[in-house]
Amino acid sequence: MSTQTDTAEEPLLRITDLAVDYRANGRDWTPAVRGASLQVQPGEFVSLVGESGSGKTTLVQGALGLLPAAARIRSGAISYSGVDVTGWNDRRMALVRGNYVGFIPQDPNTSLNPVKKIGQQVIEAVRFNESKEGNAAAHRDAALESLRTAGLAEAERVFGQYPHELSGGMKQRALIAIALAGKPKLILADEPTSALDVTVQKVILDHLVHLREELGIGILLVTHDLGVALDRSDRILVMQGGAIVEEGPVDRVLEHADDPYTRRLLDAAPARHAGRLQPTAGERPIHWQTPIVLRANDLAKTYRLRGRGPKRELRALDGVDLAVRKGTTHAIVGESGAGKSTLASILVGFNAPDAGTVHVGEQRLTGLRHRELREVRRHLQFVFQNPFTSLDPRYTVGKLVAEPLRAFGLLPAKRERRARVVELLEAVALDESYIDRLPSQLSGGQRQRVAIARAIALNPEVLVLDEAVSALDVSVQAQILQLLVDLQAEFGLSYVFVTHDLGVVRLIADDVTVMKDGAVVETGPAERVLSAPGHDYTRELLAAVPGARLTATVR
Amino acid sequence: MTLKQLLDKPVAGDSPIEATPSAVTTRRGHRFGELVRQPILLASWLIVLVAIGWALFPDLFTSYSPYDGDAGASFAPPSAEHWFGTDRLGRDLYARCVFGARTTLTATLLAVLIAFGVGSVIGLVAGYFGRIVDSVAMRVVDVFLAIPSLLLAMVVVSVLGYSTNNIALAVGVSSIASFARVMRAEVLTVVGQDYVKAAYGLGVGRFATMVRHVVPNSLNSVIALAAVEFGMAVLAVASLGFLGYGAPPPEPEWGLLVAEGRDYVAVHPWTATLPGIALALVVIATHRISTSLRKERRR
């Protein structure tokens, strides 16, 4: 390898004034990237941060020549080590991809071919990127080597396995191995850890940093998570509305960001806030001896897994207790598979537990018939994770918010009902002008506001929120969290807040229950659990949360 | 190998960036423009509109009676006076085609409505309530699907007696199964959506959820199927008419017209051919339209 010729002066990747358009309706083009420039030097870790729709993925796709058919490059230049590749056709770009630049895609669960063994998929990458003809044994060795470099200790075993036999973290490593198979000098990673749990994310990111040091490759990491970017990179670029608005070394950006958007983004990061969010108006009444509004006792749920071979069972919940005090927020934290969503759906009666009871106030919820359960629902409401699927696409905002009123025959007079709908919309900081819009005409944050407005329409006592802010951008997430805190102060609501994000817990929770593998690991007041965790797993979770550098600069 | 070495290999087909945008941008205009650019689709719409016109206002399209013939002018070949010629009794074949559209298309519409209505309800109930209801309903549907639909329709007409209404019923019954299948599949998808679960969570009753959320969101595909089935049903109705299960002879009906002309087709080719061509054109045209509707929906 004669690296000197390539890397003497020119950066590994240089993008100059790149502009990419998407076709909108037939003949119109909407700009997605407007004149973005960036470069990555050998051995440098650069992060590209932006919220959804900022054009960060399009920029990377443009650099790789992987733009979808509906997009075109309007102007600008892309060069790798000084070789201008702008306008190259796909066959020629294929020589650059893999050999020179490795790509790690976003979702490890959909990016591997499910019917091929991992080994074959890595060998494929090795074979395509080889300069000379090689033999099968050499390919196999190279693939195993690549898997080991990607941090898979048991490379031999993984080699013969199918994607579905591996965990999400291992699949992501297999993808890293494929990206490394062509011995690239540069790695582009598009949200490589966004679909993974925090503890797994930490391991993968640690490994990327390690690869950079070991092999001296350059890394361009695309992420929506400012915490991740600040913790890991040498330099960060912030993208908004298709343009790069901020660029600089991490320390400089942290200390004084030039761009107002970057400052907003920094302030919106959960880690930036020292304690719980306070309501914007009024005081939150805190009574330490408040009554329990929602109580779960010794809940158990087992799923039978289908498939060939011996019957397998999955204990989703195993003796879980929970007590939610009136007017407080009880967070349930855990990684995927911890059973927190199962717990949430049992708490609101979507699913029945195999054993154990749930009480809302004095009323026992478990074992109720359909009709009786409906009455309890007036006091107990649910907010879904994804506002893009939880609203009927054919209903207007007005109809959506009025639906619970209609279901219980409240306010039958048209004018009164409309007045209540407007009142509810105002409570979630929307106004009357939204009443005739369809969900497709709203942003994610607005949709989640509508979902919350529906949930509080019946003046419930308890809201169960299942990852209610996880699908939203950080800045929108901060607004929704503030809204929840305000609503709590105004109406004395109690929340059960299910989340995987410990940063969010810090902002909103009074009590925390940490779950792992269907069982409660630790429970207690949020301040105590977060500052002095009593269990190893809680400590591990806390240590894995990105954004250490943000917390260090809390003002 | 360095990047430079790698890239010095010339590859055919490199193109400068801005080569194509203008060609791409004009590809789609608004809907009417698109229709004009697809002459076959345009022709299909015209054919179907004319057929509907025949069925609704037959008197506007012909001044001849479909029943009274001029005995002296039997088997007149197509001419300016008699566009499709005349039959054995000297009746104007064009007039009989025009009036026949009413019989045939009414029966077809009825058949599709029966299949759509009953099939959707079966599919909805099966998909929504699941478990034993689903198993039973779907096994019955499987049995129906196993019998060739024309044979099934013939059995139904034989049992009920020969008439156009019974043909409609028979054709409708024979395609209930496919509607039920499609509806069930759609309902299963919609029931799995968060917004249906959200409706339960808000306290909306099971029946109200079905009517307000599940049905409206499931109907799209079934409506597309109805367009496809319409063409098939025209053919099925005419086939049964041809076989003599439908309206008694003096009545004009497309299948019957072909059957009547069949005896003389060797000597007077227009008698069976021209009504047959009219029938074929309508079936092909509805198919073409339903295909374009399906594509439209997918966008």
B chain contacts of residue A377, beta-carbon cutoff 8 Å: 201-203
Q: How far apart are the first and last CA of chain A?
A: 49
Chains A, B: CB contacts within 8 A come to 119
Q: Which residues contact residue A111 at a Cβ distance below 8 angstroms, ignoring those fewer than 6 apart?
A: A105, A171, A175
Query: What per-residue confidence (pLDDT) applies to A195?
Result: 74
Instruction: Output phi, psi for A537, to 5 deg.
Output: -65, -40
Structural tokens at position B262: 């069949």
Question: Can you tell me the distance from the alpha carbon of A321 to that of A298, in angstroms, rounded to the nearest whole number?
Answer: 5
Structural tokens at position A88: 């190259």
* Residue A143 predicted with pLDDT over 50: yes
* Residue B13 predicted with pLDDT over 70: no
CA–CA distances in Å: residue A332 to residues A36, A67, B185: 41, 40, 36
| Mean per-residue pLDDT, B84-109 | 83
Confidence of residue B29 (pLDDT cuts 50, 70, 90): very low
Query: What per-residue confidence (pLDDT) applies to A289?
Result: 66
Q: Is A104 exposed, middle or buried (0-12, 13-18, 19+ CB in 10 A)?
A: buried
Distance from the A112 Cα atom to the nearest Cα atom in chain B, whole angstroms: 25
A chain contacts of residue B6, beta-carbon cutoff 8 Å: 95-96, 99-100, 131
CA–CA distances in Å: residue B146 to residues A339, B125, B141, B142, B175: 45, 21, 9, 6, 12
The answer to whether the Cβ–Cβ distance between A83 and B4 falls below 8 Å is yes
Instruction: Output phi, psi for A314, to 5 deg.
Output: -120, 120
The edge-to-edge listing of strands for the beta sheet with A83-84 is: A29-40, A13-23, A71-80, A83-84
Nearest CB to B203; choose among A74, A384, A407? A407
* Residue A234 predicted with pLDDT over 70: yes
Best mutation site among A6, A382, A403 for testing chain B: the one with the most B CBs within 10 Å?
Answer: A403
* Residue A7 predicted with pLDDT over 70: no
Query: What per-residue confidence (pLDDT) applies to B299?
Result: 45
| Mean per-residue pLDDT, B166-193 | 90
Nearest CB to B16; choose among A23, A72, A87? A87
More confident residue, A16 or B264: A16
A chain contacts of residue B206, beta-carbon cutoff 8 Å: 370
* Residue B115 predicted with pLDDT over 90: yes
The answer to whether the Cβ–Cβ distance between B25 and A83 falls below 8 Å is no
* Sign of torsion over alpha carbons B58, B62, B64, B68: negative
AA identity, residue B262: R
Question: Can you tell me the distance from the alpha carbon of A32 to that of A19, in angstroms, rounded to the nearest whole number?
Answer: 8
B chain contacts of residue A85, beta-carbon cutoff 8 Å: 7
More confident residue, B22 or A292: A292
Structural tokens at position B280: 């074929």
User: Which tens digits make up the pLDDT trace of A80-97?
Assistant: 888 888 888 888 888 888
The answer to whether the Cβ–Cβ distance between B203 and A391 falls below 8 Å is no
How many CB atoms are located within 10 Å of the residue A437 CB?
16
Instruction: Output phi, psi for A427, to 5 deg.
Output: -60, -30
Instruction: Tell me the three state secondary structure of residue A321.
Output: strand
* Residue B23 predicted with pLDDT over 80: no
Query: What per-residue confidence (pLDDT) applies to B32?
Result: 63
Contact status of B199 with chain A (Cβ, < 8 Å): yes
| Mean per-residue pLDDT, A412-427 | 89
Question: Can you tell me the distance from the alpha carbon of A97 to that of A103, in angstroms, rounded to the nearest whole number?
Answer: 8
The edge-to-edge listing of strands for the beta sheet with A494-499 is: A380-383, A462-466, A494-499, A329-333, A511-516, A519-525
Query: What per-residue confidence (pLDDT) applies to B17?
Result: 37
| Mean per-residue pLDDT, A168-188 | 86
The kind and range of the H/E element at A356 are strand A355-360
| Mean per-residue pLDDT, B101-107 | 86
A chain contacts of residue B13, beta-carbon cutoff 8 Å: 89, 91
Q: Which residue in chain B has the smallest CA separation from A453?
A: B202
Structural tokens at position A142: 């190279």
| Mean per-residue pLDDT, A99-105 | 87
Per 3-state DSSP, what percentage of chain A is helix, strand, and coil (rounded to 5)?
40, 25, 35
Q: Which of A103-117, A119-133, A357-371, B69-83 is predicted least confidently?
A: B69-83
Structural tokens at position B279: 């029938």
Confidence of residue A553 (pLDDT cuts 50, 70, 90): low
DSSP A541: H
Contact status of B72 with chain A (Cβ, < 8 Å): no
Structural tokens at position B287: 């198919």
* Residue B233 predicted with pLDDT over 80: yes
Nearest CB to A26; choose among B1, B13, B28? B28
Query: What per-residue confidence (pLDDT) applies to B145?
Result: 87
Task: Report the complex ipTM.
Answer: 0.72
Q: DSSP labels for B60-128?
A: HH-SS-SS---GGGTTPPS-SSSTT-B-TT--BHHHHHHHHHHHHHHHHHHHHHHHHHHHHHHHHHHHH
Structural tokens at position A42: 């050998």
Strand partners, A348: none
* Residue B184 predicted with pLDDT over 90: yes
More confident residue, A436 or A133: A436
Q: Which of A124-138, B84-98, B183-197, B257-271 is predicted least confidently?
A: A124-138
User: Which tens digits make up the pLDDT trace of B37-74?
Assistant: 788 888 888 888 888 888 888 888 777 777 777 777 77
Query: What per-residue confidence (pLDDT) applies to A48?
Result: 92
User: Which tens digits make up the pLDDT trace of A305-325?
Assistant: 665 666 677 788 888 898 898
A chain contacts of residue B16, beta-carbon cutoff 8 Å: 87
The answer to whether the Cβ–Cβ distance between B21 and A100 falls below 8 Å is no
Query: What per-residue confidence (pLDDT) applies to B63?
Result: 76
The CA-based dihedral angle spanning residues A210, A215, A217, A222, taken in that order and rounded to the nearest 10 degrees: -30
Query: What per-residue confidence (pLDDT) applies to A4?
Result: 44
More confident residue, A470 or A522: A522
The kind and range of the H/E element at A211 are helix A198-215
* Residue B122 predicted with pLDDT over 90: yes
Mean pLDDT (chain A) is 84
Q: Which residues contact residue A331 at a Cβ distance below 8 angstroms, ignoring those fewer than 6 apart?
A: A497, A498, A499, A504, A505, A508, A509, A511, A512, A513, A526
User: Which tens digits make up the pLDDT trace of A22-37?
Assistant: 887 666 788 888 888 9
Q: Establish how many alpha carbons lie within 13 A of residue B194's alpha carbon, considering only the half-sphere containing its beta carbon.
A: 14
> What whole-number percentage of chain A has pLDDT above 70?
92
The answer to whether the Cβ–Cβ distance between A403 and B11 falls below 8 Å is no
The alpha helices in A35-110, defined as continuous H runs, are 56-64, 90-96
Q: Establish how many alpha carbons lie within 13 A of residue B168's alpha carbon, considering only the half-sphere containing its beta carbon.
A: 19
* Residue A470 predicted with pLDDT over 90: no
List the Cα angle A151/A154/A157 in 5-degree steps.
130
* Residue B298 predicted with pLDDT over 70: no
The alpha helices in A304-363, defined as continuous H runs, are 340-347
Which residue, among B172, B188, B181, B190, has the nearest Cα to B232 in the 3D structure? B172
How many CB atoms are located within 10 Å of the residue A424 CB?
22
The answer to whether the Cβ–Cβ distance between A5 and B2 falls below 8 Å is yes
Contact status of B23 with chain A (Cβ, < 8 Å): no
Structural tokens at position B215: 């049905």
* Residue B272 predicted with pLDDT over 60: yes
Query: What per-residue confidence (pLDDT) applies to B5?
Result: 57
Contact status of B192 with chain A (Cβ, < 8 Å): no
Which residue, among A549, A555, A554, has the nearest Cα to A228 in the 3D structure? A549
Instruction: Output phi, psi for B74, to 5 deg.
Output: -70, 145
Question: Can you tell me the distance from the alpha carbon of B269 to that of B146, in angstroms, rounded to the nearest whole number?
Answer: 38
Q: Which residue in chain B has the smallest CA separation from A399?
A: B212
* Residue A545 predicted with pLDDT over 70: yes
Structural tokens at position A482: 């503030």
The answer to whether the Cβ–Cβ distance between A389 and B195 falls below 8 Å is yes
The answer to whether the Cβ–Cβ distance between A23 and B24 falls below 8 Å is yes
Confidence of residue B8 (pLDDT cuts 50, 70, 90): low
The alpha helices in A8-78, defined as continuous H runs, are 56-64
Query: What per-residue confidence (pLDDT) applies to B1?
Result: 46
Whether the CB-CB separation of B127 and B183 falls below 8 Å is answered with yes
Nearest CB to B205; choose among A348, A374, A394? A374
More confident residue, A462 or A361: A462
* Residue A220 predicted with pLDDT over 90: yes
| Mean per-residue pLDDT, A114-136 | 81
